[in-house]
């Protein structure tokens, strides 16, 4: 039934709330539980559930309680979730990558045997609206660029180049597709790259921002970039074209 996913989430979220969890404001699928010195996190995607926290005993107790309400299958330590692969190192660090997702994307774009490139975009590249002819398969362009957006989960370095090619999804041209193919060639040589999350002794919050100062040849707008670190780990990043703020004044 169409209502089944909604009913399932309602049942699961109601059960978690009865166990002392609360949904976060930023993501209603993420539930948090604080009690004394114990912190638990539960992330839900349909019937896939991630459970983590600072107490192994509390995690196992939660699994036991949920088993009384639902038929659960514990598949152990996190290794794959929604296209993101998790690899644990001997030092305790967590490496997040999307290698399989990249291989599937290259195959669907008929670039599985493409020659790798050292960078996702040339520093001299200036994409414009109307320079070449229209790309003959705009659906493929939108599919690939949309998939590249999902790769930003673990590939902050792609933020600027993906932001640029996203701006032409309504009317892609051949030189836009050429830039997309370079991004794919870069991914072909860096498919195992991703995020390395490490233990940090200093949990300070630091943010860095910059702009390219009016480099867009069509509207002369700037593109801003932002990255936020919690300790030594990046937790948020963004690349976005700036908006023009106009001010008007009236004479008395």
Residue-wise pLDDT for 149-193, tens only, equals: 999 999 999 999 999 999 999 999 999 999 999 999 999 999 999
pLDDT one-digit tens code per residue, 25-68:
988 899 999 988 999 999 998 888 999 999 999 999 999 999 99
Question: Do 36 and 66 belong to one domain?
Answer: yes
Domain that holds residue 215: 200-241
Beta-ladder partners of 35: 38
Q: Tell me, yes or no, whether 103 lies in a domain.
A: yes
Whether 219 is in a domain gets the answer: yes
Domain annotation covers residue 86: no
What pTM was computed for the model? 0.84
71 and 9 housed in the same domain: yes
Q: Are residues 43 and 102 in the same domain?
A: no
Which of 163, 179, 195 terminates a domain? The answer is 195
Q: How many structural domains does the chain have?
A: 3
Q: 252 in a domain, yes or no?
A: no
Q: Is residue 127 part of a domain?
A: yes
Whether residue 90 is contained in a domain is answered as no
Asked whether residue 191 falls in the same domain as residue 152, the answer is yes
175 lies in the same domain as 205? no
**CA 98/CA 84 separation, integer angstroms:** 5
């Amino acid at each position: 039934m169409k209502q089944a996913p909604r009913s399932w989430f309602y049942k699961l979220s109601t059960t978690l709330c009865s166990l002392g969890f609360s949904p976060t404001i930023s993501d209603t699928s993420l539930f948090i539980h604080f009690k004394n010195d114990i912190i638990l996190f539960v992330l839900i995607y349909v019937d896939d559930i991630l459970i983590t926290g600072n107490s192994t005993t509390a995690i196992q107790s939660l699994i036991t309680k949920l088993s009384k309400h639902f038929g659960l299958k514990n598949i152990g330590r996190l290794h794959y979730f929604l296209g993101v692969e998790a690899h644990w190192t001997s030092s305790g660090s967590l490496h997040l990558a999307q290698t399989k997702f990249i291989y599937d994307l290259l195959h669907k774009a008929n670039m599985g045997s493409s020659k790798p490139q050292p960078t996702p975009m040339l520093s001299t590249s200036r994409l414009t609206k109307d320079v070449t002819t229209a790309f003959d398969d705009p659906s493929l362009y939108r599919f690939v660029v949309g998939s590249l957006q999902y790769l930003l989960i673990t590939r902050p370095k792609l933020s600027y180049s993906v932001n640029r090619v996203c701006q032409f999804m309504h009317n892609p041209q051949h030189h836009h597709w050429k830039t997309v193919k370079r991004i794919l060639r870069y991914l072909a040589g860096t498919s195992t790259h991703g995020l390395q999350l490490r233990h940090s002794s200093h949990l300070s919050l630091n943010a860095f921002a910059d702009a390219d100062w009016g480099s867009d040849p069509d509207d002369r707008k700037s593109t801003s970039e932002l990255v936020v670190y919690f300790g030594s780990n990046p937790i948020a990043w963004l690349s976005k074209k700036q908006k023009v703020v106009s001010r008007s004044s009236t004479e008395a």
